[in-house]
Amino acid sequence: MTVYAIIGGTGLTQLEGLSIRQSLAVDTPYGSPSAEVQIGEYAGKEVLFLARHGHPHRFPPHKVNYRANLWALKQAGAEAIIAVNAVGGIHPAMGTGHFCVPHQIVDYTSGREHTFFADDLEHVTHIDFSFPYSESLRQQLIAALAAEGCEYSDQGVYACTQGPRLETVAEIVRLERDGCDIVGMTGMPEAALARELDLDYACLSLVVNPAAGKTTAVITMAEIEQALHDGMGKVKSTLARVLAS
Rounded to whole angstroms, how far apart are CA atoms 60 and 54?
Answer: 9
Rounded to whole angstroms, how far apart are CA atoms 227 and 241?
Answer: 22
Question: By three-state DSSP, how is residue 16 classified?
Answer: coil
- Please tell me whether 186 is known to bind a ligand: yes
Q: What is the per-residue DSSP string for 90-143?
A: -STT--TT-EE--SEEEE---S----S-SSS-SS------SS-S-HHHHHHHHH
- Please tell me whether 232 is known to bind a ligand: no
Rounded to whole angstroms, how far apart are CA atoms 122 and 80?
Answer: 28
- Please tell me whether 209 is known to bind a ligand: yes
Question: By three-state DSSP, how is residue 214 classified?
Answer: coil
- Please tell me whether 96 is known to bind a ligand: no
Rounded to whole angstroms, how far apart are CA atoms 178 and 198?
Answer: 28
Residue pair 127/211 in contact by the 8 Å Cβ criterion: no
Rounded to whole angstroms, how far apart are CA atoms 66 and 191?
Answer: 10
- Please tell me whether 185 is known to bind a ligand: yes
- Please tell me whether 52 is known to bind a ligand: yes
Phi, psi of 184 (to 5 degrees): -145, -175
Binding residues for phosphate: 10, 52-53, 186
Annotated binding site for substrate: which residue ranges?
Answer: 185, 209-211
Annotated binding site: 10, 52-53, 185-186, 209-211
